[in-house]
Amino acid sequence: MSVDDRQVPVGLSIGQAAFPEDGGEPAQLLRRADANMYRDKRARKITPA
């Protein structure tokens, strides 16, 4: 992305969870999706893309 004629790196992280495998209640699904997102973010920091 370009801001004031400078290139700025932009990233996106999305966590996902599936019903019913990851939980049967909305709160369980949100916790699992959040945990999955942060696990993937940590993995990217260890192994740069």
What are 12-37's pLDDT values in tens digits? 889 999 999 999 999 999 999 999 99
Residue 18: what pLDDT? 97
Report how many domains make up the chain. Answer: 1
Domain containing 30 equals 2-46
Backbone angles phi, psi at 38, to 5 degrees: -70, -35
pLDDT class for 47, splitting at 50, 70, 90? low
Inter-CA distances, 35 with 10, 43, 45, 47, Å: 21, 12, 16, 19
